[in-house]
Amino acid sequence: MNTPPKENIPKHIAIIMDGNGRWAKRRLQPRFMGHRAGVKTVADIVKRCAELGVEVLSLFAFSSENWRRPGKEVSLLMELFSHALDNQVKKLHDNNIRLCIIGDIDKFTPTLQQKIAQAQELTRNNTGLIVNIAANYGGRWDITQSVRQIAQKVATGELKPEDINEEDISALLTTSALPEPDLFIRTGGEQRVSNFLLWQMAYTEFFFTDVLWPEFDSKQLDAAISSFSKRERRFGRTSEQLQGQSDA
Ligand code: IPE
Ligand code: IPE
Ligand code: MG
């Protein structure tokens, strides 16, 4: 497979992996089979991102709203996450990949929390791709927990309310060590953000595809990157300014 020039590769890709349930339903299978097939897609997309030299891949695995699903589906998703950690972490580590988990993991069982801690510990010094899994994650939760820490600093007199700036809030988000996403991909046809990285995606390029997550593959990832590479990211400026045609 061709590798596009480095400057066309987003540093950080964030994905909402959606459509597992519908994929299974189309095949007259229980929803869970879709989630299982989705884990295989994760492995393929991680591999392709590592090949392309992407720095960070953020994957939305379980949202803070997904607890509203039937209890059986939630517990099967937890089991799947736990098995994926058992089976995939060594391979990630062998490939110099660093695994990070963001989200309110206090709500998970102690065993799952322990596996998450071990996986992060094992891979923490790896220097290749960072795979950032959002589990029991919500963008509003992330902003809230940042603001809560800021309020504590104000309460202790460490910070004055009038000195609070955007950097202070960013620095206490769960993604503070990572660049902001350049490209956001959502599979499964829905065109919404579903409480993913709300603050962090202020200037992210969006790419939506009808392809269901179990059928998303490296070719489609390449197509999303190709679309991204053709866009002009103006960050509020004019096109002329970016092309150096303006003296302003
Ligand atoms: C995404 O697939 C996976 C999770 C939310 C865990 P869905 O389960 O939302 O699949 P659809 O949207 O019902 O097809
Ligand atoms: C978003 O997918 C969360 C994950 C992919 C983990 P959902 O399928 O839960 O999103 P909504 O609720 O349809 O927006
Ligand atoms: Mg869905």
The residue-averaged pLDDT of 37-61 equals 98
The β-bridge relationship of strands 130-137 and 56-63 is parallel
User: Which pLDDT score is estimated for 1?
Assistant: 61
DSSP-based three-state secondary structure for 98: strand
Tokens 């995939």 sit on residue = 88
15, 16, 18, best to mutate for ligand 1 pocket (most atoms within 8 Å of CB)? 18
Give 240's DSSP letter.
H
Q: Is 45 part of a structural domain of the chain?
A: yes
User: Which pLDDT score is estimated for 6?
Assistant: 86
Say how many domains are in the chain.
1
Q: Is 114 part of a structural domain of the chain?
A: yes
Q: Is 2 part of a structural domain of the chain?
A: no
**CB under 6 Å to ligand 2: residues?**
16-18, 60-63, 65-66, 190, 192, 194
Residue 215 belongs to domain with CATH number: 3.40.1180.10
Q: Is 132 part of a structural domain of the chain?
A: yes
CA angle (35, 38, 42) in 5-degree steps: 140
Is the model's pLDDT at 51 over the cut of 80? yes
Q: Which residue, judged by its Cα, is nearest atom 1 of ligand 1?
A: 18
pTM equals 0.97
Q: Is 156 part of a structural domain of the chain?
A: no
Q: Is 206 part of a structural domain of the chain?
A: yes
Q: Is 61 part of a structural domain of the chain?
A: yes
Give, in order, the Cα–Cα distances in Å from 138 to each of 158, 169, 170, 182: 28, 16, 15, 19
Our measurement of the distance from residue 219's CA atom to the centroid of its chain's CA atoms, rounded to an integer in Å, reads 19
Give per-residue pLDDT as tens, 142-200: 999 999 999 999 999 999 999 999 999 999 999 999 999 999 999 999 999 999 999 99
**Domain limits at 78?**
9-138+178-247
